[in-house]
A and B are shown apart, each in its own frame.
Chain A
Amino acid sequence: MKAWTKLLISFAALLACGWIVHGPLGQGAAFVAGLQAEADAAVRASMAPPTRIAFGHDPLSRAATLSGSANDFQRNGMGLLPGITGTVAAVPGVGAVHWADAGSGGFVLPLLVETEALALLPWLIGIALGWHLFRPRRETFL
């Protein structure tokens, strides 16, 4: 079998593995649910007016869409006061934040794509490591 065929099969296995973890095993949904809970708690703690925080679910994403009756100052803050946008953006793991009434949030990368891209680096490191560790040794009789 040619080397590139082996690489292609391995890459397909990597993608399948990433999808199984993200989808059927529910890690993607669990990650977004965790972000939702943390963002809700952060906004509640900042005593801002009630704000609805919606993360992308179709497809799953780390981008938050905010909606509510907050005014411009409450939304964007001033100086050291972060405002609701800054508070949500500061939650670890949140990718992007935009307000529903401020137009579309632009292109959002699905969480599945981000997860697969993340798995690419250890996969490449593994290949390099395997290529080095399992190199053919010269047999000497001395």
Chain B
Amino acid sequence: MLTLAEFNLPLLVAALLIGLATGWWLRRRSNRN
């Protein structure tokens, strides 16, 4: 599994960034307020 993780490191970084963007999106205040 560790070998697979090393091989797919760019994907793991992309997943982290998608998660980070989601965290920001969830926290964003609605413009309607």
Q: Fill in one digit per residue for A107-124: 1 if any B CB lies within 8 Å of its CB, else 0.
A: 000010011001110111
B26 and A130 within 8 A (CB): yes
The answer to whether A136 has its CB under 8 Å from any CB of chain B is yes
Chain A residue total in the interface (Cβ 8 A): 36
Contact status of A122 and B26, CB under 8 A, knowing A92-B3, A114-B1 = no
Instruction: Report the stretch among A9-17, A46-54, A65-73, A98-106 that lies at the interface.
Output: A9-17
| B contact residues, total (Cβ < 8 Å) | 27
* A contact residues around B20 at 8 Å (CB): 126-127, 129-130, 133
Partner of A118, one of B8, B10, B16, B21: B8
Q: List 19 A-B contacts (CB under 8 A).
A: A7-B26, A10-B18, A10-B25, A17-B14, A27-B7, A93-B4, A111-B4, A115-B4, A118-B12, A119-B8, A119-B12, A122-B15, A123-B22, A126-B18, A127-B19, A127-B20, A127-B26, A128-B23, A129-B16
Which B residues lie within 8 Å of A136 (CB)? 27, 29
Q: Is the CB of A134 within 8 A of B27?
A: yes
Q: Which residues of B contact A134 (CB under 8 A)?
A: 23-24, 27-28
